[in-house]
Chain A
Amino acid sequence: MTKKTTILIIAVICLASFFLISYQAKGLISFAKIDFSNLISPFQYLKNFFSEVLDLKEENKKLKEQLYQMILQQKSYYELIEENKRLKGLLNLKEKKKEVITIAKVTRTGSNKFLKTFWIDKGYDQGIKAGMPVITLNGLAGKIIFTSSNFSEVLSLTDPNFSVSVRVERTRVEGVVSGTGTNLCVLKYIPLEEDIVVGDILITSGTDGIFPEGIKVGVIRKVERKKGFFQNIEVIPYQSDSKIEDVAIIKSLI
């Protein structure tokens, strides 16, 4: 094969690939993704099983303590919930329910080249769809970006491509939280004149049409008021990426 033929073949392949990529980028075509999750899941389960057995005793003790505390708090919460319902009924406010689709276990870290992802052991057979929010007991963890029959890939909250519409709990100011690729997030689009202080709690506002309102997202870590229109705000997520074990997948608003 001559050098010219080789170059011609490479040029044709590159051109065809570019067309294919541009069609995929526009969402006109999509291809199935291969994942080894089914293949490696027995090993992962075995590993998780042993680590769980070791943690079980300690966890049981902690849970018993928590249970007693919960029972003590329960009574007062019931009263508050009832009171809240009555007041909301008076105001004609519809309560948006957070419907849990399923609970899943984190099986492994994602191997996506650019996105910070992790895999969970539930897929579309359990009712999971792309775009659904993923939460933990601590707060928001991410959203589903890919599903197979029994596994799903979750885009982490700290990925730069992740965004969620939030509200500052104290002042009710709305902004957008995005990941940074590190363990921190940033709060965007908060005007300079808004009162934001370190320690303010961020919850989802529900205005993005994906995440239901009221889910805890993070706490303000650092506030900088420099030149420009908006403040530079760092956020510590409630749910650290490295400590996610169990997650709940909830129904998105769309």
Chain B
Amino acid sequence: MKSILKWSIFIFFTFFVEQIFIIDGINFNFSFLLIYLFVIHYFFPDIEQKKIAPSEFLPILFFITIGLIEDLFQGVIGPAIISKTLTGYLLILLIKQLFFHWTELFKAIIICIFTIIDEIIYSFIMIYFFNINIGYFMLLKVSFIKGLLNIPFGLILSWRKP
């Protein structure tokens, strides 16, 4: 219960910040950070809570919820559900199947690349279905900037984790 309340407040705060702060027309993609943090906390819990084989159902439910909230802010339901679910699942696959030492550099690369993947999936869906007029170079540039912006926040929030 305490954990649900904690996450609810964190989600509300994240979306509030995401909606308010815009730098030169580029808004943040902090919602991906929620997914990253949830995956980290879920698959690398503290020692006393350690599970042998954690289920993937709860993380997927979380991804869908985050995607749905983001979609509600944009007024179109669906694109963020798909992008967040796919990106989150890719992150789970990476975490479960690769064994490596989680250095800060590796975490930074993961945050940046997965933010870009999330942005690109979302953007392609919007471009395909709604004929949104945006240049591909501009799209890559904006996605990359969002990926870079997420790195410091992601590193601070996942400090010494896993």
Contact A10 B86 (CB under 8 A): yes
Contact A111 B16 (CB under 8 A): no
Stretch in B1-9, B70-78, B107-115 with 4+ CB within 8 Å of A: B70-78
A33 vs B72: C-alpha distance when bound (angstroms) = 5
Quick check: is A188 within 8 A (CB to CB) of the other chain? Answer: no
B31 to chain A, nearest CB (A): 11
A14 vs B113: C-alpha distance when bound (angstroms) = 21
Contact A21 B25 (CB under 8 A): no
B158 to chain A, nearest CB (A): 24
Quick check: is B47 within 8 A (CB to CB) of the other chain? Answer: no
Contact B123 A114 (CB under 8 A): yes
Contact partner of B20 (CB less than 8 A), chosen from A24, A30, A40, is: A40
Residues A34 and B73 in contact in the complex (CB < 8 Å), given A113-B122, A114-B123: yes
Quick check: is B55 within 8 A (CB to CB) of the other chain? Answer: yes
With A10-B85, A17-B81, A31-B71 already in contact, 5 other A-B pairs whose C-beta atoms are closer than 8 Å: A10-B86, A13-B82, A21-B125, A25-B129, A110-B22
Which B positions have Cβ atoms within 8 angstroms of A?
16, 18-20, 22, 25, 27, 55-57, 60, 64, 69, 71-79, 81-82, 85-86, 89, 122-123, 125-126, 129-130, 132-135, 138
A36 vs B75: C-alpha distance when bound (angstroms) = 13
Quick check: is A38 within 8 A (CB to CB) of the other chain? Answer: no
Q: 25 A-B contacts, Cβ less than 8 Å apart?
A: A1-B57, A6-B56, A6-B60, A9-B60, A10-B86, A13-B82, A13-B85, A17-B78, A18-B78, A18-B82, A21-B79, A24-B129, A31-B76, A33-B75, A34-B73, A35-B19, A109-B22, A111-B20, A111-B22, A114-B123, A114-B126, A115-B132, A146-B75, A160-B133, A181-B135
Of listed B64, B72, B75, B89, residue having the most chain A CB within 10 A: B75
Please name all residues of chain A whose beta carbon is closer than 8 Å to the beta carbon of B122 when the two chains form the complex.
Answer: 113
Please name all residues of chain A whose beta carbon is closer than 8 Å to the beta carbon of B85 when the two chains form the complex.
Answer: 10, 13-14
A126 vs B4: C-alpha distance when bound (angstroms) = 40
B110 to chain A, nearest CB (A): 20
Please name all residues of chain B whose beta carbon is closer than 8 Å to the beta carbon of A36 when the two chains form the complex.
Answer: 16, 19-20
Please name all residues of chain B whose beta carbon is closer than 8 Å to the beta carbon of A34 when the two chains form the complex.
Answer: 69, 72-73
Quick check: is A66 within 8 A (CB to CB) of the other chain? Answer: no
A109 vs B22: C-alpha distance when bound (angstroms) = 7
Residues A24 and B126 in contact in the complex (CB < 8 Å), given A10-B89, A34-B73, A181-B134: no
Contact with B along A107-127 (1 / 0, CB 8 A): 011111111100000000000
Quick check: is A84 within 8 A (CB to CB) of the other chain? Answer: no
Which A positions have Cβ atoms within 8 angstroms of B?
1, 3, 6, 9-10, 13-14, 17-18, 20-22, 24-25, 30-36, 39-40, 108-116, 146, 160-161, 181
- List the 9 closest A-B pairs by CB distance, nearest first: A33-B75, A21-B78, A17-B78, A160-B133, A25-B129, A111-B19, A20-B78, A34-B72, A6-B56
B160 to chain A, nearest CB (A): 29
Contact partner of A35 (CB less than 8 A), chosen from B64, B73, B134, is: B73
Contact B76 A24 (CB under 8 A): yes
Please name all residues of chain A whose beta carbon is closer than 8 Å to the beta carbon of B81 when the two chains form the complex.
Answer: 13, 17
Contact A116 B25 (CB under 8 A): yes
B54 to chain A, nearest CB (A): 10
Residues A22 and B129 in contact in the complex (CB < 8 Å), given A1-B57, A113-B74, A160-B134: yes
Nearest B residue (CB) for A36: B19
Contact B75 A31 (CB under 8 A): yes
Please name all residues of chain A whose beta carbon is closer than 8 Å to the beta carbon of B27 when the two chains form the complex.
Answer: 111, 113
Nearest B residue (CB) for A3: B56
Please name all residues of chain A whose beta carbon is closer than 8 Å to the beta carbon of B78 when the two chains form the complex.
Answer: 17-18, 20-21, 24
